[in-house]
A and B are shown apart, each in its own frame.
Chain A
Amino acid sequence: MSVLVEQQPPPAANPFQAPRTAHNARRRASSIAIVVLSGLSTAFAVAVLLFLLVYVLRQGLPYINIDLFTKIPTPNGEPGGGLGPSIQGSLILVGLASLFGIPLGLFVGIYLSEFGGRGAIAMGVRFLVDVLAGVPTIIFGLFIWILVVVPQQSFSGLAGGLALGIIMIPIVARTSEEVLRLVPKELREASLALGATESRTILRVVVPAASSGIITGIVLAMARVAGETAPLLMTAFGNPFFSADITRPIDALPLRIFNFADSPYQAQINQAYAGSLVLIVLILITSFAIRWATGGFKRSVR
């Protein structure tokens, strides 16, 4: 055994192998450390999401039933009842917000992509829209509260829709702009060469060509405002009864979750969990659908 080893020539120095000095050991260690630490960071982010999902699922699932979607909340502490008005209210509010937010956002997107280009005004508008996206949503609630609710002396669904609509604008505008830019120039030129006017080219050729991306942006914006709470506190306010009157206070799912979260009654806390589960499932489905629609998990459109 020992003879065999002695007979072998000493291993040739690998020219690609760094010499085993203390300095290189440190370099190797730092190389391994960055992989491990960054891997742990990723694991943390993924674990947090999974934990959150499992938690809401476990707490909320037992209280998902038909009544949750159809009944009104019961008076304090009594069992039964549901979040019907909240779900109806959320649908109305998102609908109202879309009414304001989609046209404004889409046309700002068209302006930025088709007319503005890289000019100073367009860059300014783009900048404003991006800044608008970063303003905390409670500020828009406050804005509409002062402008609409206080003079009317009544919280209203309309006010809630307006506040949510403002929040939709930057999301729709920037996604529309990005996808409109992806439409090939040749398509525009072909249409113009056939004698179509500029407006006709944009509305009949460019926008339809980008429609799936634009719809993605719209859905993204709707999902986003469906989960908004802060601006609704001071606009839609909440309402435990079914109401489709947009001049009166209206309920919303996130608002109801907020009101029930610190309830002293376990039944209401359970409904807050169930409502959260409904909301989170809705948003997961939208996120997956968008992913699937924009190229089956192949490229990220954002």
Chain B
Amino acid sequence: MQQSLSGARIVARLLGGGSRRLSDTLFRGFTLLLVLVVVVVIAGVTWVLVSNSMPTIQTFGWSFLTNQAFDPVHNVFGVGPAIFGTLVTSAFALIFAVPIGVGTAIFLVDFCPRPLQRPLAFIVELLAAVPSIIYGLFAFLALAPWLQSGLEPWLQKYLGFLPFFQGSFHGLSLLTAGVILVIMVLPLITSVSREVILTTPTAQREALLALGATRWEVIRHAVLPYARIGITGGVILALGRALGETMAVTLAIGNQASPIGPSLFNTGYTLSSVIANQFNEATPGLFFSAVIEAGLLVFIITLITNIIARLLIYSMGHRVGGLTT
């Protein structure tokens, strides 16, 4: 008895609680254990992805990133077109979602009639709650046919001299995936920007107003400089979301590689859609490993974007947008 008690005391000391009761020590230990489980899961994801990608990493090296063929028949794998599709659709999404999202945030904080502020912010947040499969269904059954018969011919007629709007209309295309991504990352940019803009000190706004600044000048010289870092964090968070989005993009993008070219009317695929489409056919060996390496790439890319985004947001000194994913 004496023996076991002193044993427990030693464990208690180790856990950092000099004179703490045994029950407290156990509780602390249990909590720490569960925290450890979560840490192990994250480490486990990394390890499992890396170790299962080894066959293709060793066989193809860096050429996996640029190779155009994803060819199980000849056992040659590369994700060049998928990386291209991922980057093009995400860039498209940000080009449109950033001004609209930041604009919405500015309106909600600075110009919106007070009673409407929270309801409108709530509606924008609802956009983030809609499951991606529903965006996918919408893109596949409504957006794609409309783009094919409506917007794409119109764009080609008036802007066809641009390389982005050439070729035939497929409906399912990089453009369709890009448009649906605009809608999907919009609420993320808006909510992070809104929370950061809300933290701009009132005194700064009032100081500029007292100097006779217009609304635009207040935004330009007081709000945006203050919120810039946080907004950048939100935008990068949105980039990570766009780069990794799977279901909506898989349904919208057509999942066929066109030769890499500037036209947004081309079909394509992304790293995530390769996984969603190919995992079930993946035979053990290089094919299996290629699918996992595509996953590893998505993981690394989104890890980097998320780390940068979080550091930027933390550096604002306010924990904002903590849960928005």
> Which B residues are CB-close (under 8 A) to A137?
246
Measured CB to CB, the nearest residue on chain B to A48 is B183
Q: CB of B272 within 8 A of chain A?
A: yes
Instruction: Give the contact-size bracket for chain B.
Output: 35 or more
Q: A41-B99, A134-B237 are in contact. Are A279 and B30 (CB under 8 A)?
A: no
B323 pairs with A174, CB closer than 8 A: yes
Segment of A6-14, A69-77, A222-230 in the binding face: A222-230
Q: CB of A132 within 8 A of chain B?
A: yes
Nearest chain A CB to B18 CB, angstrom units: 13
Q: CB of A38 within 8 A of chain B?
A: yes
Measured CB to CB, the nearest residue on chain B to A44 is B100
B120 pairs with A46, CB closer than 8 A: yes
Question: Residue A33 contacts which of B131, B216, B244, B247 (CB distance < 8 angstroms)?
Answer: B216
Nearest chain A CB to B13 CB, angstrom units: 16
A52 pairs with B111, CB closer than 8 A: no
B138 pairs with A55, CB closer than 8 A: yes
Measured CB to CB, the nearest residue on chain B to A280 is B134
Question: Which residues 46-79 of B sit at the A interface, judged by CB distance below 8 A?
Answer: 48-49, 52
B134 pairs with A276, CB closer than 8 A: yes
- The answer for the CA separation of A81 and B55 in the assembled complex, in Å, is 45
Indicate the member of A174, A224, A258 with the most B CB atoms within 10 Å: A258
> Which A residues are CB-close (under 8 A) to B206?
none
Q: CB of B80 within 8 A of chain A?
A: no
> Which B residues are CB-close (under 8 A) to A300?
118, 121-122, 125
Indicate the member of B21, B42, B52, B131 with the most A CB atoms within 10 Å: B131
Q: A27-B216, A34-B215 are in contact. Are A287 and B106 (CB under 8 A)?
A: no
Nearest chain A CB to B48 CB, angstrom units: 5
Nearest chain A CB to B228 CB, angstrom units: 16
Q: CB of A117 within 8 A of chain B?
A: no
B310 pairs with A130, CB closer than 8 A: yes
A223 pairs with B183, CB closer than 8 A: no
Question: Which residues 209-245 of A sit at the B interface, judged by CB distance below 8 A?
Answer: 220, 223-224, 226-230, 233-234
> Which B residues are CB-close (under 8 A) to A298?
118
Grouping DSSP codes into helix (H, G, I), strand (E, B) and loop, the A interface class, with mixed when no group exceeds half, is helix
Nearest chain A CB to B212 CB, angstrom units: 7
Q: CB of A108 within 8 A of chain B?
A: yes
Chain B 118-142 interface 0/1 with A at a Cβ cutoff of 8 Å (1 = within): 1111111111011111111110111
B129 pairs with A291, CB closer than 8 A: no
Question: Residue A41 contacts which of B100, B246, B295 (CB distance < 8 angstroms)?
Answer: B100
B31 pairs with A269, CB closer than 8 A: no
Q: CB of A183 within 8 A of chain B?
A: no
B48 pairs with A146, CB closer than 8 A: yes
Q: CB of A171 within 8 A of chain B?
A: yes
Q: CB of B181 within 8 A of chain A?
A: no
> Which A residues are CB-close (under 8 A) to B30?
107
Q: CB of A251 within 8 A of chain B?
A: no
> Which A residues are CB-close (under 8 A) to B119?
297
A198 pairs with B24, CB closer than 8 A: yes
Question: Which residues 161-204 of B sit at the A interface, judged by CB distance below 8 A?
Answer: 183, 186-187, 190-191
Q: CB of B35 within 8 A of chain A?
A: yes
Q: CB of B207 within 8 A of chain A?
A: no
Q: CB of B85 within 8 A of chain A?
A: no
Q: A31-B216, A130-B322, A261-B251 are in contact. Are A233 and B276 (CB under 8 A)?
A: yes
A229 pairs with B104, CB closer than 8 A: no
B131 pairs with A227, CB closer than 8 A: yes
Measured CB to CB, the nearest residue on chain A to B116 is A42
B306 pairs with A302, CB closer than 8 A: no
B216 pairs with A132, CB closer than 8 A: no
B272 pairs with A136, CB closer than 8 A: yes
Question: Which residues 266-297 of A sit at the B interface, judged by CB distance below 8 A?
Answer: 269, 272-273, 276, 279-280, 283-284, 287, 291, 297
Q: CB of A97 within 8 A of chain B?
A: no
B34 pairs with A28, CB closer than 8 A: no
Nearest chain B CB to A287 CB, angstrom units: 5
Indicate the member of A104, A142, A227 with the most B CB atoms within 10 Å: A142
B138 pairs with A45, CB closer than 8 A: no
List the 7 shortest-distance A-B pairs measured between CB atoms, nearest first.
Answer: A227-B131, A136-B244, A41-B103, A199-B27, A38-B107, A31-B214, A134-B306
Residues in chain A within 8 A of chain B (CB atoms)? 18, 27-28, 30-31, 33-35, 37-42, 44-46, 48-49, 52, 55-56, 59, 103-104, 107-108, 110-111, 115, 125, 127-140, 142-143, 145-147, 166, 169-171, 173-175, 178, 197-200, 202-203, 220, 223-224, 226-230, 233-234, 254, 257-258, 261-262, 269, 272-273, 276, 279-280, 283-284, 287, 291, 297-298, 300, 302
Interface CB pairs A-B, < 8 A, 14: A37-B103, A42-B104, A42-B108, A42-B120, A45-B127, A56-B138, A59-B141, A111-B32, A127-B314, A131-B303, A136-B299, A229-B246, A276-B137, A302-B191
Q: Contacts A35-B215, A134-B309, A223-B129 given; 11 further ones with Cβ under 8 A?
A: A34-B219, A45-B123, A48-B127, A52-B130, A135-B299, A138-B244, A147-B48, A229-B247, A230-B246, A257-B134, A297-B122
